[in-house]
Structure 1
């Protein structure tokens, strides 16, 4: 099969069917009638010699061959989209653009204060929204432009995405100033003798660390479990509990809450924090500006 045999519009329909799984929704998205989408699917089936999508009770499900084509076609369309829009301009000083960034609650605590402080100065009409990386289908949302960037440990964002390392960080033990463990170094015996607050964050890099600690012997003495890091500072400030947290979060929380942190006595993996964006927006000036701002504010020197 040669490229001149393929109508690019058919591949756009194919890509939409992969995301929406409904002919009616694809027709709505593309401003077409349902018969036109059905006709495009018929042409695709003839072109590739495969059914591609099968009607089921849960919508149009792709065949194994369609799944095989999906990644390459999505990547190619993204690159074409970026190329044809490369000449558009973006002026942060006058733009009223709203950006959406995928990040965790740790990310909000660490990245947003400086980012918003800078945006208020250089792009006063620009606004930012955040979404949890685990609360949306991040791959599809970023491909569709619903999420502009994502920050974190996100191994699912590989083919079709660019990434830039911001920093790697280790884990520390965090507790209130004056705690019995408030010294230069603590032992594993100290760690396991203390009572802990644990953040249950399945599906994140921190979730992997929790598994290591929970599968260790002896067991942590977990007194409290919470689903996020937002309240950790308030809790540690008023109790004898300790927490295992990323070092940069500990640095942000230490002064406001009167906390101290020391190197973790258990050997834990470092977390690589990366900035991700879809290939479709590699040359988009607005995306380039926001990426550059985040790198300027938060990336370690390479």
Structure 2
């Protein structure tokens, strides 16, 4: 073991997370031949291919999968040992943070975050980016972005998460809608036609699940992917839309919308913050997570 370069295991861990020698090289600021050479040395040590080609990606062999948890744990332990906790130099840092988030969350949350951050860290760089939920864990582990904000989803032990905020649903309708007068009742709501927003092609959303439990059903006229489009429709028709109240308030600043209380008991929408476990003790990362919590107070 004293003849094995510990940096080889860092290469192993990053290739495992990226599934690509090219992406691993970019992540580690090395050339692809250097990555290939590191893997060659590890293959000779373990007498195993460790990674094999699968189309454009490389996938771990059974042995690589078996040793991966111990390699990751050892690297994290070494990182904690070597790290000297120091305050993040916000006033002078030029660090760049990439945050994965959806379009409506970007509209509602990102401007407030940028204002909060730049007051203390005027040279910091912030970037928001979209992502596919099925790739969230891989993108975080590979360093494609530093953290992500989304609804609750299943992630592995390598990803940390916390509740950022909760949103109460409301009903959006055009100004002057007949149902905008007085308190909106369940029978009135059910008698109308509805817009549903979902990234899935089919299947019930929270309101429909709540209705199913009561043996009820509503008439869905339109299903779309984004709240912006849905609010445009609601503002120019008699269709009703259920959405988180904060999103509704934001979109009502530019569209002629009336917001009413949803006459149905449904769970609040949870919005979560996700980040890689390896960044848990990173002073800059911790500083930015704290600013996100401040923005959501």
What TM-score bracket applies, with the shorter chain setting the length?
0.7 to 0.9
> Which sections of structure 1, spanning at least 5 residues, go unmatched?
none
Is residue 12–residue 39 contact of structure 2 (8 Å, CA) maintained in 1?
no
How large is the Cα RMSD of the aligned pairs? 3.5
Q: How far has the Cα of 1:150 moved from its partner? A: 1.2
Classify 1:86/1:221 alpha carbon distance in 2 versus 1 (closer, same or farther; 3 Å): farther
Going from structure 1 to structure 2, the CA distance change for 1:251 and 1:76 (only over 3 Å counts) comes to: farther
- Name the CA shift for 1:211/1:33 in 2 (closer, same or farther; >3 Å): same
SS of alignment partner, residue 251 of structure 1: helix
1:209 maps onto 2:206 in alignment: yes
Does 1:84 find its partner at 2:82?
Answer: yes
Cα distance, 1:184 vs structure 2? 5.2
Unaligned 5+ runs, structure 2: none
Residue 41 (structure 1) aligned with residue 39 (structure 2): no
Structure-2 residue corresponding to 1:275: 273
2:115 to 108, 117, 123: 117
Q: Deviations over 1:25-63 (max 9, x none)?
A: 6567544263442121231x34xxx65434445543223
Q: How far does the alpha carbon of each residue in 1:3-46 deviate from its partner, in whole angstroms, 9 at most, with x for none?
A: 98975334223213323445576567544263442121231x34
Q: Tell me the distance in 2 between the aligned counterparts of 1:113 and 1:24.
A: 34
What pairs up with 1:10-159 in 2 under 5 angstroms?
10-22=8-20, 26=24, 29=28, 30-31=30-31, 32=34, 34-43=36-45, 45-46=46-47, 52-71=50-69, 73-74=71-72, 76-78=74-76, 80-81=78-79, 84-87=82-85, 90-134=88-132, 137-159=135-157
**Which of 264, 289, 293 matches 2:291?**
293
Q: Within 5 Å, which residues of 2 pair with 1:193-204?
A: 193-202=191-200
| TM-score, normalisation: structure 1 | 0.78
| SS of equivalent residue, structure 2 residue 179 | coil
Count of residue correspondences: 291
Per-residue CA deviations over 1:235-285 (Å, capped at 9, x if unaligned) read 332222211112221232334434232332344332222222212212222
Conservation of the 8 A alpha-carbon contact between 2:17 and 2:141: no
Residue of structure 1 equivalent to 2:245: 247
How far apart are the structure 1 equivalents of 2:115 and 2:139?
27
Distance in structure 2 (CA, Å) of the matches to 1:211 and 1:84: 52
Contact 1:82 1:280 in 2 (8 A): no
Q: Distance in 1 between matches of 2:264 and 2:124?
A: 43
Matched residue SS, 2:178: coil
Q: 1:244 to 1:62 in 2, by over 3 A?
A: same
